[in-house]
Structure 1
Amino acid sequence: MLWRSVVGKLWMTILLLVSFVLGFVAILLSQFFRTYYVDMSEARLQKVATSVSELIEEGADVKTIENIAYKFSDPLSRIIIVEDGKEISSSPKQEGLVTLTMDDLKEDKELAAVFTDKKEIKNNIRKASNSRKNKNTENDIMIVGKPVQSKNQSAVFVYESLKVPIQGMERTTDFIFLSAGIAIILTTFFAFFLSTRITAPLRKMREVAFEVARGKFDAKAPMVSQDEIGELATALNQMGKQLKFNMNALQQEKEQLASILSSMADGVITLNQEGEVVVINPPAEHFLQVWQEEKEVELSKKLPSELVELFHLVVESEQQQVVEINLQKGNYVVLMTPLYNQTKIRGAVAVLRDMTEERRLEKMRQDFIANVSHELRTPMVMLQGYSEAILDDIVQTKEEINEFVQIIYDESVRLGKLVNELLDLARMESGNVELHIGEVDIHPFVEKIGRKFQGIAKDKEVALTVDFQNPIEQYPFDADRMEQVLTNLIDNAIRHTNAGGHVTLVIDTKNNGLTFEVRDSGAGIPEEDIPFLFDRFYKADKARTRGKKGGTGLGLAIAKNIVQGHDGKIAVSSVVGEGTTFSVYLPNRII
């Protein structure tokens, strides 16, 4: 509404102020002119009375006095001359003027005192009702009495109707109030124009302020003057510019923080004072999802009970707290620290670190140490035992000594093989083994491996065959290392295939690469053991090697590292009771 706006308020303020001032001035002027007209009438009557009184004292005759008096008197005034207490002369009666008689003068003590006590009266206003029962205020009179000092009970009375000064006063008052009304009307338009002009820049600045509030920081307020309003427009423009700079800086910091949080491997959760999630990054969301799926509960924006308890502990103790949460799909360590608003805790920040891989590696390290200790202890004990038997002359015959020496030799070879494979595997995992990749003739390479195992396969009564699916002459890889891989796979296949079974080495080209497959018809590998086959010292089914000469448990781990060194892949598929297939894929590498 207009009255609630700055224009309306300023307009009404100016209008009320001018109206009050003009009204006050009009009242003062009307009172001033009222007094002015009365004083003018009194002065004129006083002048006439004095002149007549002086003529009487000078001894002028009545006729001369009347002529001179009537000449100076107003047409609406009347003169009464009293001598020795009697009216000796009076001007003619005037229409509309109350006629005073000698009786009226005598009855009024104040008027009678003029000729009895030589007392002069001025500005004596008499109501017409006192003498003539006429209630019309226009018939009220003003009377002046001047005593004649040289004669007893003599005086001159001059009076006139107040109609003349009243009419002059009314005309003046009407003019004053008309002028005031016109001035108020003009002030109304001028005040509205002035307030509109003054507030126009303010309205524009209001629009600019709303634009800035909506994020449009390029909006500018016009500078229409160099006064306070112009300075306000300049300050508003500078504020918008500074806000734009600050908002851009905040946006950059926000994006930088979001980028950092998104790229962090650790999960981050920021909580407010009520324990509600304020900021969360993708790793933390993944943790909550895993926890929700495992616990089969709906979290929405709430936290797991473990984190809620940790948050309360952090707030109460005002200290950093650490807790480990173990789930089936992973292990997490949560580090929660309080956040302060000056001296008061305003929330907490939790860092969630996925320790699954670290725990797995730690377990592998422990298992590795245990397995190495176990694998080394067995040949060491056998070497020590059989050596002591020979040294203590427990064996006497040459055949027994030769048998013990042969056992010692076999175990020392096995021990040496184990140590070499451990060193070889360590070098591969550290990346210190260099592959010598070159063009290899496939047929001679495969035939060489086949001849190596023909004797062993014949002894085990296992059929060993080679199958070329797609003829290929040459392919780039490290011949020695790939021979080591295939040797390990074929050796495992023959050892775990019963008599009458078969082992097949299949060579194929697919997916722009070379594939070696070692298929056997052995006992197969349980499904739960397949994910761990390529771990160090892992042996799938101990029943597969029970009663047989087992390996070191490092062959498949070494084979995996060699294949990955060629940017290839090694996989296994098996059905218990039907057989197992190991496949090695080597992509075509440019030498």
Structure 2
Amino acid sequence: MRYFNSVVIKLWLTILFIVTAVLIILSVSLMGFFNSYLKSESGHTLKQQAEKAELVLTSHHDQSDALTYVKELIENPAGIIIVQNKSDLDDTYEDPLKQLMVDEIKENDAFDKVFVKDEYVVKDIKVNYQDNRHEFILIGYPSQAFNHEDSGIFIYQDANSMDDALNYITFIIFIVAMLLLILTTIFAFFLSNKITKPLLLLKSAAFNLARGERNNKIAVYSRDEIGELALAFNKMEQEITLNISKISQERNLRDRLINAMEDGVLSFNMDLEKQLQNPMAEKFLDDISQEDTDVLSKLVNQVMQSDETIYHEISTFNKHYVLIISPVKNTTQGQNNGAVAIIRDMSEEKKIDMMKQQFIANVSHELRTPIQMLQGYTEAILDGIVVEKDDVDEFLNIILDESKRLNRLVNELINVARIDAGETTLNKEMMDISPLLEKNIQNFKQSAMEHKTTLQLDLQHTKAVAIDYDKIFQVITNLLDNAMRYTKSGDTIKISTYNDTSNLYIKISDTGVGIAKEHINHIFERFYKVDQARTRGKHGTGLGLFIVKAIIEKHHGEINVESEQGIGTTFTISIPLVDTAQ
């Protein structure tokens, strides 16, 4: 059946149908015309014969001889019946065909005109003769050759004698029709190919264009409607290719921009199916739970129905997201086509807000303790509660210690503020770090003797390094101070150095109480204390290690810690031998 979908076949069948219909109508018309013509000519010939018979009968005096002559003249192949008086029709004839004709003359009222009105009558009659159906032409001609008014001459001839002529004409028409059909078929295929070949090229090019393939220009062979169609298609393909190129460039630019966004972009259609999502949105979908996903679907559906923008927050284990969900409208119809969600990771901002709150609380707490002690001991002296010199000296020493503690806390806060503001600058110089470490050890000798702690120094490095002397001195001081705080009598604190081809390594190890595993990843955070206590005494402010790490990273180095409770702790510092900032 697919062949009937071809334009060539349809056009050929259409032309063939039209030509066949025309030939059938023409053939039928010609056959009818020739049949009528032959019958008319036969009737005219029979009339001429009747006129001759009438002339012979009226010109001869001997009617018997005239009748014999007329019958010999006309009969074979035609037959003649001469009725001198209408009563002759009642006679019986030996020839059965003549008897049939006589019966027809008697029964057919049309032949009464011959006897009554003296008019010429021609009739086609059909009779059964010799077990076959025959068609005859029977004419009636009024005669004046006899003394009776109701006399006439009737001549009949078998119309089947015209079949040979009609058959020959039919054969000629059939041959001509076949030749015309063959010529029509050839012409139809030629015409259809001429018309459809460009159309097939257009169809193939259109399918290629639909698949996104580039076509060569379609050749234009004529300037008719099909040629103009090919020109229009070439122009259309050029415009489509240009527009596709522009759209592709714009889409690529859009995708790059969306993928480069720090915010997530998630687009939905009216069926809540995802249409567009960038890597940030994919990460968001991976982070949230199934319950949060269901909430997101409900919010998107609500936005598409209410036509309003919705703000929503979703928090996971370690992330905090803010969602802005807005409807997407069709600019032409003004109807919603879906919704788009902008996903912003506010985890850092949330963390910073919490750190600010925690910072304020910690600073307030750390400052309150020494200030209260300064105020309390000063008031005790001023109010005369203590009057003995030894007691006053003790109170003044406590006030001095708390003042130093307060000064150290303020300095650490200033350092932290500078680090956060990025204002920490380094004055690097190439130097041997040995003198710096020896001075640190010398500063802590008195404290080590008081705590009965052993200090050891093992220097095995051979390379100089670019450092800021004061900042690295502060680092080593903070680490030794921590080690002194968390060691007991009899413990050992050791500073050792060595280097490889890339880095200088400084290790500060102790045999103190150690750090629990759950605290290892947090000890470099600001205000973090292993025992979580904020009291005076051995416990620091929780800012020392934060400052240490910031200074080491400023030197493009690293600091790592290894510790085990009850065994001790080791801090390892690595500083590049080559100053990467230069």
2:281 equivalent to 1:290: no
Aligned match for 1:327, one of 313, 316, 320: 316
Report if aligned partners of 2:508, 2:571 keep a CA contact under 8 Å in 1: yes
Which residue in the other structure is 1:234 paired with? 231
Distance 1:408 1:182, change over 3 A: same
Which residue in the other structure is 1:579 paired with? 568
Report if aligned partners of 2:264, 2:279 keep a CA contact under 8 Å in 1: yes
Say what the alpha-carbon RMSD is for the aligned residues. 3.7
Aligned match for 1:336, one of 297, 300, 325: 325
Report if aligned partners of 2:460, 2:498 keep a CA contact under 8 Å in 1: yes
CA distance in 2, matches of 1:88, 1:290: 130
Aligned match for 2:77, one of 69, 89, 97: 97
CA distance in 1, matches of 2:247, 2:364: 59
Q: What is the TM-score normalised by the length of structure 2?
A: 0.83
Report if aligned partners of 1:82, 1:156 keep a CA contact under 8 Å in 2: no
Give the drift of 1:382. Answer: 2.4
CA distance in 2, matches of 1:260, 1:350: 16
- How is 1:80-479 mapped onto 2 (pairs within 5 angstroms)? 87=67, 90=70, 92-93=72-73, 96-103=76-83, 106=86, 107=89, 108=105, 119-121=118-120, 124-125=122-123, 137=134, 140-141=136-137, 143=139, 145=141, 159=155, 161=157, 162=159, 167-218=164-215, 220-292=217-289, 304-315=293-304, 317-341=306-330, 342=333, 344-472=335-463, 474-479=464-469
Distance 1:560 1:120, change over 3 A: same
2:507 equivalent to 1:517: yes
Give the drift of 1:509. Answer: 1.1
Deviation sequence 1:368-416 (CA, Å, 0-9, x none): 1111111222222223223333333333344444444443333333322
Which residue in the other structure is 1:295 paired with? none
2:40 equivalent to 1:39: yes
Give the drift of 1:422. Answer: 1.4
* Structure 2 residues not aligned, in runs of 5+: 90-104
Aligned match for 1:567, one of 556, 562, 570: 556
Distance 1:444 1:126, change over 3 A: closer
Q: Quick check: 223-232 or 101-110, which moved more?
A: 101-110
Deviation sequence 1:211-264 (CA, Å, 0-9, x none): 223221435544333222223333333443344334434433443343334333
Give the drift of 1:52. Answer: 8.3
Q: Quick check: 397-406 or 183-192, which moved more?
A: 397-406
* Structure 1 residues not aligned, in runs of 5+: 64-80, 293-298
Which residue in the other structure is 1:554 paired with? 543
Report if aligned partners of 1:212, 1:219 keep a CA contact under 8 Å in 2: no
Report if aligned partners of 2:524, 2:545 keep a CA contact under 8 Å in 1: yes
Report if aligned partners of 2:84, 2:151 keep a CA contact under 8 Å in 1: no
Report if aligned partners of 1:50, 1:146 keep a CA contact under 8 Å in 2: no
Distance 1:380 1:191, change over 3 A: same
Distance 1:134 1:416, change over 3 A: closer
Report if aligned partners of 1:507, 1:514 keep a CA contact under 8 Å in 2: yes
Distance 1:317 1:209, change over 3 A: closer
Give the drift of 1:517. Answer: 1.1
CA distance in 1, matches of 2:154, 2:216: 82
Deviation sequence 1:162-207 (CA, Å, 0-9, x none): 5665544443343233322332233233323333332222223222
Q: Quick check: 314-323 or 567-576, which moved more?
A: 314-323
Q: Quick check: 379-388 or 579-588, which moved more?
A: 379-388
Give the drift of 1:490. Answer: 1.4
Aligned letter for 1:333? Answer: V
CA distance in 2, matches of 1:537, 1:403: 30
Report if aligned partners of 1:270, 1:278 keep a CA contact under 8 Å in 2: yes
Secondary structure at the counterpart of residue 102 of structure 1: strand
Report if aligned partners of 2:84, 2:148 keep a CA contact under 8 Å in 1: no
Secondary structure at the counterpart of residue 364 of structure 1: helix
Report if aligned partners of 2:437, 2:476 keep a CA contact under 8 Å in 1: no
Report if aligned partners of 1:383, 1:411 keep a CA contact under 8 Å in 2: yes
Aligned letter for 1:429? Answer: D
Q: Quick check: 349-358 or 392-401, which moved more?
A: 392-401
CA distance in 1, matches of 2:79, 2:535: 162
CA distance in 1, matches of 2:130, 2:485: 156
Distance 1:181 1:527, change over 3 A: same
Aligned match for 2:472, one of 456, 478, 482: 482
